[in-house]
Structure 1
Amino acid sequence: MTLQLAVLASGNGSNLQAILDRIASGALDAKVCLVLCNKPEARALTRARAAGVAHLALSPADYPDREAFDAAMVAAIRAHGADAVALAGYMRLLTPGFLAAFAGRVVNIHPALLPSFPGLCGAADAQAYGVTLAGCTVHFVDEQMDHGSVIVQAAVPVHPGEPLDDLKARIHAMEHRIYPQSLQWLAEGRLRVEGRVVRVLPRGDGTTVPGVPDGPWLVWPPLEQGF
């Protein structure tokens, strides 16, 4: 079944673009019903406009509190027919009311290997700590920041003394692969949450798609063809 998706973004929207590109290629069985931004200058809105996708900017300053703002977002998302939500650089915590409206169907991408280095500067914090492996995580969203159950992670090497932008570029390249993959698993109903563990089930016909080798990179669970 085609995943009816809303994408929330605050900035550049490169992961939104990766999602749109995978949909266009046929690898991701989804429709982006709405791109919703909390900043009218967000480039994600330009990307949505170029792709012919419905888009909307709502300002938190126009609402009395977080609950009212999130209720307006829920109403807009439902009005456009979406029933799942992907955060793509969305820089606000979601309220319990929002999460309840799309229970078990809100996902996020974070540029670090959670639970290490949560927050706004995951890649920079990892580099400053001196790790030898950095990476990214797709996870379900709960009421705590960067806390929900992990769906898929990818690790990339950190080269001593390299510019932070080089590390970020390597992480972003993996983000753009693992995020659409996780959404495809969600579209296929193949994600089962057992406590804090997320399992990727075989496809409905009982088959398991072979993982794609990634050379020096480690991705788990393994990606499937098209990602």
Structure 2
Amino acid sequence: MMNLAVFASGNGSNFEAVMEAVKSGAVQGEVKLLVCDKEQAFAIERAKNHGIPTFVASPKKYSSKEAYETNVLKQLHENNVELIVLAGYMRLIGSTLLHAFEHRILNIHPSLLPAFPGLDAIGQAFDAKVKVSGVTVHYVDAGMDTGPIIAQESIYIEDGDTREDVQRKIQQVEHQLYPATIQKVIEQITRGV
């Protein structure tokens, strides 16, 4: 069993998918902590419903990104976290966490990277009128959605699809691909790969 922390900023649907996969045994890990940077995020309610401790703090209340991440790091160490899973965490990870968890931070992004990095990837793809988009799971580095890609899966955008249709298709893929990829990474870490 690997100890996980999930970072989220919003609704937490991917957090929920990870929790379901952990409970079913599809992910051989234990979620020890939810880290959230938005006090009103629904992900906090989801964590409470699962009995998962939360660390909620606004980075704006800290003197620097380093000060914020140092406090987050303290929480991670106290909970013996071994792998960080970003699930709709809308903040770039800084050097404090990157150094402490090198090759141990995963992110899910709603596009086929390197296409449409950053905010509102679904809207970017929809506005660009692409016919194929998808989901990418990657390791986090210092850039925005630039880390090494672990897994990708595509979706087709049909004529007449609304932005909401595209989002629904993306989320269906995310909720399957992310837990499966997390398990793959856990297995690789366990084997020392």
- TM-score interval, smaller chain: over 0.9
Task: Encode CA deviations 1:74-131: one digit per residue, 9 max, x unaligned.
Answer: 1111111111101000011111121110111000000000000001111111111111
Partners in 2 of 1:100 and 1:126 — Cα distance? 32
**Is residue 128 of structure 1 aligned with residue 127 of structure 2?**
yes
**Backbone CA RMSD of aligned residues:** 1.4
Identity %: 38
In the alignment, residue 105 of structure 1 is paired with which amino acid? R
Q: Where does residue 51 of structure 1 map in the other structure? A: 50
> In 2, are the aligned partners of 1:185 and 1:191 still within 8 Å (CA)?
no
User: TM-score under structure 2 normalisation?
Assistant: 0.96
Taking structure 1 as the reference length, what is the TM-score of the superposition? 0.82
Is this contact kept in 2: 1:3–1:31, CA < 8 A? yes
Give the AA of the match of 1:118.
P
Superposition pairs of residues 94-109 of structure 1, within 5 angstroms: 94-109=93-108
Kept in 2, the 8 Å contact 1:7–1:35? The answer is: yes
- Match of 1:27, as an amino acid? A
Aligned-partner SS, 2:188:
coil
CA deviation map 1:37-70 (0-9, x unaligned): 0011111110010001111201112210111111
Higher relative contact order (CA 8 A, sep 6+): 2
Name the aligned partner's letter for residue 134 of structure 1: S
DSSP-derived class of the 2:182 partner: helix
Q: Structure 1 stretches of 5 or more lacking a match?
A: 193-200, 202-227
How do 1:110-189 and structure 2 match up within 5 A? 110-189=109-188
Counterpart of 1:56 in 2: which secondary structure? strand
Distance in 2 of aligned mates of 1:46 and 1:14: 11
Asked whether 1:73 is paired with 2:59, we answer no
Specify the alignment match of 2:90 in structure 1.
91
Structure 2 CA distance, aligned partners of 1:108 and 1:154? 14
Partner of 1:19: 18
- Aligned to 1:21, the other structure's residue is in SS state helix
Mind listing any 5+ residue stretches in structure 2 that lack a counterpart?
none
How far apart are the structure 1 equivalents of 2:65 and 2:114? Answer: 26
Alignment: residue pair count: 192
User: Within 2, Cα distance between the matches of 1:33 and 1:191?
Assistant: 18
